[in-house]
Amino acid sequence: MVCVGTSPLGGLPTIYGYDVEAGQAVATIRRVLESPIDFIDTSNEYANGESERRIGEALRSAAGGPGNVVLATKADPALWATEFPGSRVRESFRESTERLGVDRFEVFYLHDPERFDFGHMTAPGGAVEAMVQLRTDGLATAIGVAGGDISEMRRYVDLGVFDVILNHNQYTLLDRSADALIDHAVNAGLSFINAAPYASGMLAKQVSARPRYQYRAPSPEIVRTTAWLHQECARFHVPLAALALQFSTRDPRISSTVVGVSAPERVDELVENEQREIPSELWDSVRERLVLPPTVT
Ligand SMILES: NC(=O)c1ccc[n+]([C@@H]2O[C@H](COP(=O)([O-])OP(=O)(O)OC[C@H]3O[C@@H](n4cnc5c(N)ncnc54)[C@H](OP(=O)(O)O)[C@@H]3O)[C@@H](O)[C@H]2O)c1
């Protein structure tokens, strides 16, 4: 199952190297509503709330209404804040409901908690306690933790209060650092959401297209391996994006894979790439060169 990631949609030129204007963002979300994809991921702070505002506009103006789409958003600290208390989680929740035009969320994450001390986040009156209260009050069906730092994410799993965990950029064709975290989270009963299967673009775009790897310029080794992957995929007439996507979607431990989109045609490509047949010879070749785990079949 795929989920549409919307961090590019607010317009984040410093991260993605291009801007997305509001009309294109709204058209992209409308295309999602017409597609088989029914899961959208955003956050309070993507482009200072602009991602949520644009999604909200698309949901309100959609001809057929929002349908059964599941919205996941994230609680963020106030801009430049040095603390993230429970009161800010509730305020962030309220801001997100207003922008998106809903009164509750199916999935509500605590966003990048590694920005703050674990003791601060888990103290009485703190952010974690407020997350649990939102679920108790029926304002979130599932509460999650979304972040990048693997050892810190493991500590949040071990609290035993979260239903979902999202980690990004670290379970891809090029980086499997999150493998043990996935096992740990699933064994603890959480759903694992894998975000950024293209490592922020590198595993979908040609090397010549000024792609990014984990939001930075790629190392020469990553450029070489990605060039080989493109070549090998071309031999089998498969886009690298399809291989990179299915590396994640075929893993039975992963409940959903979040892919960033910037335009309506990206939504169509995502649907196609999820369904595309990939010859077993291509998997065999890639498995041998990249030493892929046995979960990839
Ligand atoms: N801490 C967190 O909670 C966290 C962190 C990271 C990500 N996320 C979530 O996960 C989502 C995905 O991460 P991401 O967007 O950074 O990385 P990603 O999904 O690995 O890559 C997205 C980039 O790939 C490019 N792309 C997508 N489909 C393509 C295609 N068919 N052909 C060529 N290029 C394609 C897009 O570029 P163009 O469309 O511009 O060409 C887009 O900017 C985010 O949007 C966000 O919702 C959450």
CB-ligand 1 contact for 168 (6 Å cutoff): yes
Looking up tokens 């801009």 gives: 79
Q: 109 with 72: CB under 8 angstroms? A: yes
Residue 172 pairs in a beta bridge with none
DSSP state of 78: P
Q: Whose CA is nearest to atom 37 of ligand 1?
A: 201
**Quick one: tokens of 81?**
């804040």
Query: What pLDDT is recorded for position 125?
Result: 97
Per residue in 23-41, pLDDT tens? 999 999 999 999 999 999 9
Query: What pLDDT is recorded for position 194?
Result: 98
Distance CA 268, CA 81 (A): 39
User: 2-290: which CATH topology?
Assistant: TIM Barrel (3.20.20)
Output the CA 286–ligand 1 centroid distance in Å.
22
Distance CA 154, CA 158 (A): 6
φ and ψ at 13, to 5 degrees? -60, -30
Beta strands, E only, 76-161 = 105-111, 140-147
Distance CA 112, CA 84 (A): 11
**CA-closest candidate to residue 9, choices 49, 63, 59, 66:** 49
Query: What pLDDT is recorded for position 62?
Result: 81
Q: Write the DSSP assignment of 146-213 as a string of letters.
A: EES-HHHHHHHHHTS--SEEEEESSSSSS--TTHHHHHHHHHTT-EEEEE-TTGGGTTTS-GGG---B
Atom of ligand 1 nearest to the CA of 262: 39
Looking up tokens 């979607």 gives: 249
Per residue in 203-262, pLDDT tens? 999 888 877 899 999 999 999 999 999 999 999 999 999 999 999 999 999 999 999 999
Residue 75 pairs in a beta bridge with 110
Output the CA 5–ligand 1 centroid distance in Å.
6
Helix (H), strand (E) at residue 70: strand 70-75
Report the largest interatomic distance among the alpha carbons of the chain, rounded to a whole angstrom: 57
- Tell me the pLDDT of the chain (297 aa) as tens digits: 999 999 999 886 777 667 899 999 999 999 999 999 999 999 999 999 999 999 999 999 887 777 789 999 999 999 999 999 999 999 999 999 999 999 999 999 999 999 999 999 999 999 999 999 999 999 999 999 999 999 999 999 999 999 999 999 999 999 999 999 999 999 999 999 999 999 999 999 988 887 789 999 999 999 999 999 999 999 999 999 999 999 999 999 999 999 999 999 999 999 999 999 999 999 999 998 888 776 665
